[in-house]
Amino acid sequence: MLIATLVVGAIGAVCALILGISLVTFAVKMDAREKEVVEMLPGANCGACGFAGCAALAHEITVNPEAPMACPAVKEDTIKAIAALLERDMGSLEPAVACVRCKGGPQEAPSRYEYVGPRDCRSAQLVAGGPKVCQYGCLGMGSCVTVCLFDAMAMGEDGLPHVNIDTCTGCGKCVEACPRGIIALVPKTGTYCVSCISEDAPKDMKKICSVGCIKCGICADVCPFEAITAEKGKAALIDQDRCRKCGLCTGVCPVSVITGRTVPEKARIIPGACIGCGICEQVCPTEAVSGRAKEPYSVDPGTCIGCGLCLAKCPADAIERYNA
Amino acid sequence: MSPFKGGVHPPEEKALVRDRAIEDFPLGARYSVPVQQHLGAPARAIVKAGDAVRKGQALSEPQGYVSVPVHAPTSGTVKGVAKVVHPVTGLLSPGVIIEADGKDEWAEGLPLRRDPFAMDKGELLEAIRGAGIVGMGGATFPTHVKLNPPEGKTIGTLIINGVECEPYLSSDHRLMVEEPERVLKGIQVAMRVLGLDRAVLAIEANKPDAIRVMREKAPGEITVSPLSVKYPQGSEKQLIKALTGREVPSGGLPMDVGTVVQNCGTCAAIWDACSAGVPLIERITSVTGRGVRNPKNIRVRVGTLLRDVIDFCGGLDGAAKIIFGGPMMGIAQFTQDIPVMKGTSGILVLTEKDADIGGYSPCISCGRCVEACPMGLIPSTLSRLGERDLWQAARKSGLTDCMECGCCTYVCPARRPIVHFIRHLKALSRSAGSKQAKGA
């Protein structure tokens, strides 16, 4: 008994010694900060940054002082924390979220045959181009929901996927998974998008879907920033770089196909700085500005849509935005 | 000895139409001719609404070498080039709508009278291409490309595929029994194009009358070779293995082992094109299955609507599924407003009992699909990879060698749609490939 204990103990001691030596000799030299960065990243290994996973991105941004913060899924304060840790400017990514550009569930846009195969949109797309009559519409089998690593998508009762804007990180996994290219990324600050990508002529589209874009072009006409293009034969498309989240388009769309969350921001005039030129009154698309020449103008918060046109045009920098 | 590995023996079901003589489908009032009826580069419609066309006139212009035109099936007026449902892709694609004038007048100069055996290789290939001939077994690959192997590839064997191993179908069978001369003359033209002095006509042993007729009529240089009955005996690679013992390498083509395979219906079309300049505007097809009242073999113009064909065959009776092609590899259709195409070897109407539509359950690893796979793959593994979108791993397991013959799905006791999973993986692999190409 005693001998056995000693023998096993001795073997253990030798092994421990070998392990101890190799731990020192073969240690992988790693920046201590790298580990901390890994812990701050989301840990979903979604690959949206272009690296193999969170650890690979952490390594890159730690060792390479030029590498930008490529993770779209981290929050603004996390980026700041990582920047503070690495003692350099990380830049910032405008947070994005997914937008499902189809409103035609089984009720609004019918199917042309019964699909009985695996419940996967990409699979269904292989059978005669998918069961839905509309060739552009959502197949409703939730491939986007399945691939979401952040539980930010769910199938609604209307048979369409819905995005939870608060948990969506804009990693773009769902965009890749959708065989019809229905999902797009939009800025989180104002999620305006035209919820239809049909290229069918309006009269053909109306036969197969009651909620699609009718390509009337009113939104493009009304947009003060020329952010909407309504090309012939295509659904209207919002240029997210130009969109100023005013929300005018959502109000005028006759089929309510434009969706978005308005940022509760308004403009107000700083009385002391206003020179009373009246330019703001002229440019305001909603006639929210009123006043008399050479006297300070005022903005009616009820009518102001926060588009910011007046800010851009004011020669005296006398207009500011505030959270209403 | 087994001619090739794996394979299955599904019920033949050929008795429904096997002994019915080919009937001519009467001239219809309206035709819808899809512009894309071949594999390869698209063709472009060259007619517009209001144009008068005559039978055999070209309606489209090929764009590129691997591309062929389509032709007017009868004389009449073009109503327009509309978006019509394509029976193969299921998507809307351009099709020429023709309203027949009932006169059925040939285009200027047709049919010609010429001797194909006095023409040289280039002239024959041009005639074949101009006639819009594609592989009529169903794959619709342009025939002139197959008959013109690139420099450096020596062709020693021409195999004519009269196997028709798909259950239910008998169109090639009837063609060989009723019109053996067209087939044999066409084979001789194909031999002339390839510069060969012999050919092998392969027929499955379940068509003894076709074998007898062909043996009686065939000239010495064409050997008629009966093959044992096993699906997929009519697949190119399996056919080559059974007849020559050679195996087409993975990712390779029949020409890599010195062979060219042509369907017997294609040969008949080659003869029409080369001897009379008649384009491919009609074909023989089996309308069969227990869901149609009077199963028939018909000679039908390309562009005839399925609805009219079904009416001609007595209408539907308890139909649950309509398939273009055979039950193993055919394509299910969701509407009757689709045209018969150059590659429509059969129109199969299954009843609910025969279609056996239902769900599937997890793989139990029984290995039956592995035994059945004629390509030596492991379909069970591929199907499980398909459920998880793991196309990279599937590529390492021979994904691209799968020809989607359906043997695995046929034998699966868990009723898993294995071929569908494989097609899903192939689609994922393709889209990843095209994304990479875009990025580079």
Q: Between B334, B387, B421, which is nearest A112 by CB?
A: B334
Indicate whether A101 and A237 sit together in one domain: yes
Lowest mean pLDDT among A89-93, A148-152, B428-432: A89-93
With a CB cutoff of 8 Å and minimum separation 6, the contacts of B162 are: B172, B173, B176, B183, B201, B202, B203, B207, B210, B214, B263, B264
Q: Are residues B89 and A122, on separate chains, in Cβ contact within 8 Å? A: no
Q: Are residues B91 and A129, on separate chains, in Cβ contact within 8 Å? A: yes
Q: Between B90, B417, B427, which is nearest A122 by CB?
A: B427
DSSP string, A41-66: S------TTSSSSHHHHHHHHHH-TT
Q: Are residues B424 and A118, on separate chains, in Cβ contact within 8 Å? A: yes
Residue of B nearest to A114 (CA): B334
For β-strands B22-24 and B296-301, DSSP reports them as parallel
Does some domain include residue A45? yes
- What's the CATH code of the domain at A312? 3.30.70.20
Chain A partners within 8 Å of B427 (Cβ): 122, 125-126
Does some domain include residue A25? no
- Assigned token pair, B434: 């095209």
What is the pTM for the complete model shown? 0.81
pLDDT band at A271 (very low <50, low <70, confident <90, very high): confident
Indicate whether A115 and A191 sit together in one domain: yes
Indicate whether A52 and A167 sit together in one domain: no
Query: Which sign, positive or negative, has the C-alpha torsion A220, A226, A229, A235?
Result: negative
Indicate whether A88 and A58 sit together in one domain: yes
Q: Between B334, B359, B427, which is nearest A128 by CB?
A: B334
Indicate whether A79 and A133 sit together in one domain: no
Round to the nearest angstrom and report the end-to-end CA distance of chain B. 50
Does some domain include residue A8? no
Does some domain include residue A278? yes
With contact defined as beta carbons under 8 Å apart, do B344 and B282 qualify?
no
Q: Chain A residues contacting B, CB < 8 Å? A: 112-113, 116-118, 120, 122-123, 125-130, 135
Does some domain include residue A26? no
Mutate to test the interface with A, among B83, B338, B387, B420 (most CBs of A within 10 A): B420
Chain B partners within 8 Å of A130 (Cβ): 90
Q: What percent of chain A has pLDDT over 90?
A: 19
What CA–CA distance (Å, rounded) separates B51 from B76?
Answer: 9
Pick from B404, B306, B412, B417: nearest CA to B357: B417
With contact defined as beta carbons under 8 Å apart, do B8 and B369 qualify?
no
Q: Are residues A122 and B428, on separate chains, in Cβ contact within 8 Å? A: yes
DSSP string, A150-191: SS-EEE-TTSSEEE-TTT-----HHHHH-TT--EEEEETT--
Chain A partners within 8 Å of B90 (Cβ): 127-130
Residue of A nearest to B417 (CA): A117
Indicate whether A153 and A77 sit together in one domain: no
Strand partners, B71: B58
In the block, which residue shows the tokens 């049909």?
A: A198
Does some domain include residue A21? no
Strand partners, B72: none
In the block, which residue shows the tokens 């070498």?
A: B65
Q: Does B414 touch chain A (CB under 8 A)?
A: no
What CA–CA distance (Å, rounded) separates A229 from A232?
Answer: 10
With contact defined as beta carbons under 8 Å apart, do A131 and A120 qualify?
no
Using DSSP, state whether A16 is helix, strand or coil: helix
Does some domain include residue A105? yes
- Backbone φ, ψ for residue B217 (5° rounding): -90, -25
Q: Are residues A126 and B423, on separate chains, in Cβ contact within 8 Å? A: yes
Q: Between B89, B333, B428, which is nearest A129 by CB?
A: B89
| Average per-residue pLDDT for chain A | 86
Chain A partners within 8 Å of B417 (Cβ): 117-118
Q: Which amino acid belongs to residue A172?
A: G
Q: Other C-beta atoms within 10 Å of B416: how many?
A: 25
Q: So what's the pLDDT on residue A28?
A: 79
Q: Which of A93, A128, A163 is the last residue of a domain?
A: A93
DSSP string, A114-126: ---S-S-HHHHHT
Indicate whether A255 and A236 sit together in one domain: yes
Residues of chain B with CATH 3.40.50.11540: 116-276
- Distance, in angstroms, between A216 CA and closest chain B CA? 23
Q: Are residues A118 and B387, on separate chains, in Cβ contact within 8 Å? A: yes
Does some domain include residue A39? yes
**CA distances (Å), origin B351, targets B289, B332, B396, B401:** 8, 13, 39, 32
Q: Other C-beta atoms within 10 Å of B126: how many?
A: 14
Q: Does B182 touch chain A (CB under 8 A)?
A: no
Chain A partners within 8 Å of B334 (Cβ): 112-113, 128
Chain A partners within 8 Å of B333 (Cβ): 128
Indicate whether A140 and A252 sit together in one domain: yes
- Distance, in angstroms, between B359 CA and closest chain A CA? 7
Q: Are residues A128 and B91, on separate chains, in Cβ contact within 8 Å? A: yes
Q: Between A112, A118, A128, which is nearest B417 by CB?
A: A118
Indicate whether A115 and A82 sit together in one domain: no
Q: Between A113, A116, A122, which is nearest B334 by CB?
A: A113
Express each pLDDT in A131-146 by its tens digit.
Answer: 998 989 999 999 999 9
Q: Are residues A112 and B357, on separate chains, in Cβ contact within 8 Å? A: no
What CA–CA distance (Å, rounded) separates B128 from B42?
Answer: 18
User: B348-359 burial string, b = 16+ CB within 10 Å, else e?
Assistant: bbbbeebbeeee
For chains A and B, count residue pairs whose Cβ atoms are closer than 8 Å.
Answer: 42
Express each pLDDT in A212-266 by its tens digit.
Answer: 899 888 998 888 888 898 887 788 888 888 887 777 888 888 888 888 765 557 7
H/E stretch holding B387: helix B379-387
Q: Which of A47, A76, A93 is the last residue of a domain?
A: A93
Q: Does B195 touch chain A (CB under 8 A)?
A: no
Query: Which sign, positive or negative, has the C-alpha torsion B248, B250, B255, B256?
Result: negative
Domain count, chain A: 3
Top-level class of domain B116-276: alpha beta
Using DSSP, state whether B348 is helix, strand or coil: strand
Q: Are residues B428 and A127, on separate chains, in Cβ contact within 8 Å? A: no
Q: Looking at the predicted structure, is the pLDDT value of residue A70 above 90?
A: no
Q: Are residues B331 and A128, on separate chains, in Cβ contact within 8 Å? A: yes
Indicate whether A121 and A213 sit together in one domain: yes
- Distance, in angstroms, between A10 CA and closest chain B CA? 46
- Distance, in angstroms, between B323 CA and closest chain A CA? 12
Q: What is the maximum alpha-carbon separation in chain A?
A: 105
Chain A partners within 8 Å of B386 (Cβ): 118
What CA–CA distance (Å, rounded) separates B419 from B412?
Answer: 11
Residues of chain B with pLDDT under 70: 1-2, 437-440
Q: Are residues B90 and A128, on separate chains, in Cβ contact within 8 Å? A: yes
Stretch A100-127: mean pLDDT: 89
Q: So what's the pLDDT on residue B1?
A: 43
Question: Alpha helices, DSSP H only, in chain A?
Answer: 2-25, 32-40, 54-63, 76-86, 121-125, 143-147, 173-177, 202-208, 218-222, 248-252, 279-283, 309-313
What CA–CA distance (Å, rounded) separates B63 from B57?
Answer: 17
**CA distances (Å), origin A249, targets A200, A206, A227:** 21, 21, 10
Indicate whether A41 and A62 sit together in one domain: yes
- Assigned token pair, A37: 């960065």
Q: How far is CA B263 from the centre of its chain?
A: 8
Q: Which amino acid belongs to residue A261?
A: R
- What's the CATH code of the domain at A43? 1.10.15.40
Q: So what's the pLDDT on residue A46?
A: 82
Chain B partners within 8 Å of A129 (Cβ): 89-91
Q: Are residues B90 and A129, on separate chains, in Cβ contact within 8 Å? A: yes
What CA–CA distance (Å, rounded) separates B123 from B241?
Answer: 32
Q: Does B332 touch chain A (CB under 8 A)?
A: yes
Indicate whether A235 and A295 sit together in one domain: no
Range of the domain at A71: 32-93
Q: Between B92, B335, B420, which is nearest A123 by CB?
A: B420
With contact defined as beta carbons under 8 Å apart, do A104 and A139 qualify?
no
Crossing angle for the helix pair B171-178 and B264-276, to the nearest 10 degrees: 50
Q: Are residues B427 and A118, on separate chains, in Cβ contact within 8 Å? A: no
Q: How far is CA A244 from the centre of its chain?
A: 15
Mutate to test the interface with A, among B86, B424, B434 (most CBs of A within 10 A): B424
